[in-house]
Amino acid sequence: MKALVTGGAGYIGGTVAAQLASLGHRVVILDDFSHSNRKHAPRGIELIEGSVLDRPLLDRTFEAARRSAEPFDCVLHFAAFIEVGDSMKRPEIYFENNTCGSFSLLQAMLAAGPRRIVFSSTAAVYGDPESVPIREDARIAPTSVYGESKVMVERALEWLNRIHGLRYASLRYFNVAGAPEEEGGVLRGEAHEPETHLIPLVLDVALGRRPSIRIYGDDYPTPDGTCIRDYIHVTDLAGAHIAALEALDSHDRIVCNLGNGRGFSVREIVEAARRVTGHPIPVEVQRRRAGDPAVLVASSERAKSLLGWEPRYTDLDAIIRTAWEWHQKRYIA
């Protein structure tokens, strides 16, 4: 197949693009590098610099491929802003980039592009769940602008499937972590500017780059008072995307959760990082952040049965160990 991967220079998009290329598929990456680094893009893959908000660029990209002997067969869409806390401060930016950017891409696809898309969605669409583990038929009630920006795209995809026959897979991620094996000399792991995700922040403390790790809220209704999240290794996540793409041959609409099916609290993450790194990691407790549900844990049974997918990394220490190995190299590379 020939695939367009938006946001393909990023942490997740780059891992998926590299896996697709390793399987012999033709891959083209579209990325504006607003939240990624060119040096982390998979090597040997065609790269277009630009935004999904640039409709003329999308039209030219699809039209050029259509006129050639190699039109695009599919799109994997990762280009989005992902910070829950930031979305509650700058909602207009998230609706513009995540929602309007996706609509721009979908319009270009309907005009001249492929009719299959794998969409990077999120567990944030569920908000505060009524029961755990969360199934795909659970109530959709996001508590953050980030989650709402993704819900709006999911709803559009459903209508475009009904009306235009657009085949889609919407994959609702839980917390993605870890680092893939180094490929082609490219080091890729979880890093954001500014960094807001727990595991890289904890590892920064272990490296002495931060004095302590901040825990936002220790009064949640959980065993140790801190938020509980489901962590999935980025390599497992990438494999699920490829499985979903293949499943669109026989299904026109797929909605799946992707997670480990087991939750870990913020304090458990800190303790695991202490074990893996051998470093003391001081903790500083802060007030809760707006938009953070107490517990998010996936039921991934649908992905396992429908996609034939099974996560390989189920042990928390193993996931953090891959992140730690990469994290120690990132400041040297």
- The set of catalytic residues is 146
Helix ranges (H only) for 39-192 are 55-67, 84-89, 91-94, 101-112, 145-164
Longest dimension (CA), the chain: 59
Q: Do residues 13 and 238 lie in contact, with contact meaning Cβ atoms separated by under 8 Å?
A: no
Q: Do residues 216 and 292 lie in contact, with contact meaning Cβ atoms separated by under 8 Å?
A: yes
Helix ranges (H only) for the chain are 11-22, 55-67, 84-89, 91-94, 101-112, 145-164, 198-206, 234-247, 266-277, 301-307, 316-330
Report the Cα–Cα distance between both ends of the chain, in Å, rounded. Answer: 32
Q: Do residues 269 and 313 lie in contact, with contact meaning Cβ atoms separated by under 8 Å?
A: no
Kindly list the distances between the CA atom of residue 64 and the CA atoms of 61, 71, 112, in Å, as whole numbers in the listed order: 5, 8, 10
Q: Do residues 215 and 266 lie in contact, with contact meaning Cβ atoms separated by under 8 Å?
A: yes
CB proximity list for 51: less than 8 A, separation 6 or greater: 32, 34, 57, 79, 101
On the CB side of 294, CA atoms within 13 Å amount to 12
